Amino acid sequence: MTHVGVLGATGAVGQRLIQLLDPHPEFEIACLTASDDSAGRSYRDAAKWRIETPIPDDVADLDVRETDPAAIPDDIDLLFSSLPSSVGERVEPDLCEAGYVVSSNSSNARMADDVPLTIPELNHDHLDLLKVQRDERGWDGALVKNPNCSTITAVPTLAALDTFGLETAHVATLQAVSGGGYSGVTSMEIIDNVLPHIGGEEEKIETESRKLLGNFDGAELDHHDADVAASCNRVPTLDGHLENVWAETSEAITAEDAATAMREAPSLDLHSSPDQFIEVFEEPDRPQPRLDRMVGDGMGVAAGGLRETSNGVQYNCLAHNTLRGAAGASVLNGELLVEQGWV
Ligand SMILES: NC(=O)c1ccc[n+]([C@@H]2O[C@H](COP(=O)([O-])OP(=O)(O)OC[C@H]3O[C@@H](n4cnc5c(N)ncnc54)[C@H](OP(=O)(O)O)[C@@H]3O)[C@@H](O)[C@H]2O)c1
C-alpha cells in the first residue's frame, strides 16, 4: 500500500480526492492538511462535506494538520495537492525539497520547463522531465502537475485531431460553478446569469494545451505550435465543463474522420483510467453536463455535434471538472508515478 496525504483536503477538489482515494486499492490516506483555521480539528469537523457519497468514517476521524513540511509524517510516499495556487507556490517546492513526491492540481509551476504537465493517456512520456527536474533542483522529491479543468476537457480531442496536423483550435467554454471552488462564485452572481470572463482561464487553456501536445526529446520539451485561443464563461451548472471547439488541420478532415480518431484515442491500464477515453455521441444535442458528465465514471471525455467547417471541424466536448478535470486527474498522475517507479 502507498501511504498518501491530501493537501487542501477540506476544499472542493480535496473532498473529491478523499472520495476517490478512500476506496483506492493502491493508496491509503494517512495525512490531511488544510489552512490554519482547520488545523487541529477532526476532518469531520473541519470539512463541510458536500459530496454525494457519505464521508468515509476512517478519514472523518483523522486530525487535519497544518500545511507545512514539518507537519507531514515521514512515512508518506505521495502527496496530492489541491491548495490555492498562491499557497502551492510557497509550500510545494519546500515539500519536494524535503523529499516528498507531489501530484498537484494547483496552477503554480504548471508551465515551468522542468515540471511535467501530464494527462497520462496523452503524454505519459513527459514524466521523464522529472530527471531534468531532480538534476536542476537537487530535489529528492518531485513535482508533477495536472492541467486546468477547462484545458483537460478539450485537449484529448485536440490530440486525436493532431493526427491530421492540428493548426488552430478556438475554444469557447461553459464552465460549472464547482470549478471556482466552494467560495468561488456567489449565488447572487450566478443564478439567472452567465459570467463571460474567468480570470486567467483563457491564458491557461492557450498555454497548457501547447505544452501538453508538445514533444519531449528526453532533455527538452518542445511546445506544439498550434494557434490556440479561448473564451471562458461561467454558467449555472454544478459540475461538468462543456466546451465548443473549432479546429483546423493541415490535412483535409471530415466529421467522420474526426469521430473515428476520437473514438480510437487509447486509454491506459491504470486503476482510474476509463475503458473508453473519448466517447463520441451521434445525437447532435449531446454531450450535456447533467446527462454526460459521469462518462467513464467521471474520468472519460465526451464529444458530439461533430460537423465540417470550411477548414476543419466544429464540435462540443465535456468532462467532469472536479473528477477528470482535477481530483481524478491528479490520482491518475499518482498511479502513473507509482507505475513508473517514481514513488
Ligand atoms: N474546482 C475545480 O474544478 C478545480 C479544477 C482544477 C484545478 N483546481 C485547483 O485546485 C486547487 C483547489 O481548488 P478548490 O476548488 O478545491 O478550492 P477550495 O474549495 O477553495 O479549497 C481550498 C483548500 O485549500 C485550503 N487552504 C486555503 N488557504 C490555505 C492556506 N493558506 N494554507 C493551507 N491550506 C489552505 C483550504 O482549507 P480550509 O478549508 O481550511 O480553508 C481548502 O482545503 C486550486 O489551486 C484550483 O485552482 C480546481
Q: Please write the tens of the pLDDT for every residue from 303-322.
A: 999 999 998 999 999 999 99
Confidence of residue 14 (pLDDT cuts 50, 70, 90): very high
Would you say residue 182 has pLDDT above 90? no
Domain with CATH 3.40.50.720 in the chain: 2-147+326-339
Nearest protein Cα to ligand 1, atom 47: 106
pTM, full prediction: 0.97
DSSP 287-324: --HHHHTTGGGGTSEEEEEEEE-SSEEEEEEEE-TTII
Q: Which amino acid is it at 34? A: A
Would you say residue 181 has pLDDT above 90? no
Kindly state the cell numbers that stand for 161: 485531431
Q: Please write the tens of the pLDDT for every residue from 79-131.
A: 999 999 999 999 999 999 999 999 999 999 999 999 999 999 999 999 999 99
Q: Measured in angstroms, how far is the CA atom of residue 192 from the centroid of ligand 1?
A: 26
Kindly state the cell numbers that stand for 60: 472523518
241 is catalytic: yes
Burial class (CB in 10 A: 0-12, 13-18, 19+), 290: exposed
Cα separation, 65 vs 31, in Å, equals: 8
Nearest protein Cα to ligand 1, atom 35: 35
Domain with CATH 3.30.360.10 in the chain: 149-320
For 120-132, letters b (16+ CB in 10 Å) and e give bbbbbebbebbeb
Q: Measured in angstroms, how far is the CA atom of residue 11 from the centroid of ligand 1?
A: 5
Mutate to test the pocket of ligand 1, among 17, 33, 83 (most ligand atoms within 8 A of CB): 83
Cβ < 6 A, ligand 1 pocket: 8-14, 34-35, 37-38, 67, 82-85, 87, 105-107, 148-149, 178-179, 181-183, 321-322, 325-326
Catalytic entry in 126, 241, 317, 320:
241
317 is catalytic: no
Cα separation, 225 vs 217, in Å, equals: 16
For the domain covering 149-320, report its CATH number. Answer: 3.30.360.10
Atom of ligand 1 nearest to the CA of 88: 45
Catalytic entry in 31, 124, 126, 149:
149
Nearest protein Cα to ligand 1, atom 29: 35
Q: Which amino acid is it at 156? A: P
Confidence of residue 13 (pLDDT cuts 50, 70, 90): very high
3-state secondary structure of 174: strand
Kindly state the cell numbers that stand for 200: 486567467
Work out the angle at residue 139's Cα, subtended by the Cα atoms of residues 137 and 142, and round it to the nearest 5 degrees.
Answer: 105
Would you say residue 78 has pLDDT above 90? yes
The domain made up of 2-147+326-339 has a fold known as: Rossmann fold (3.40.50)
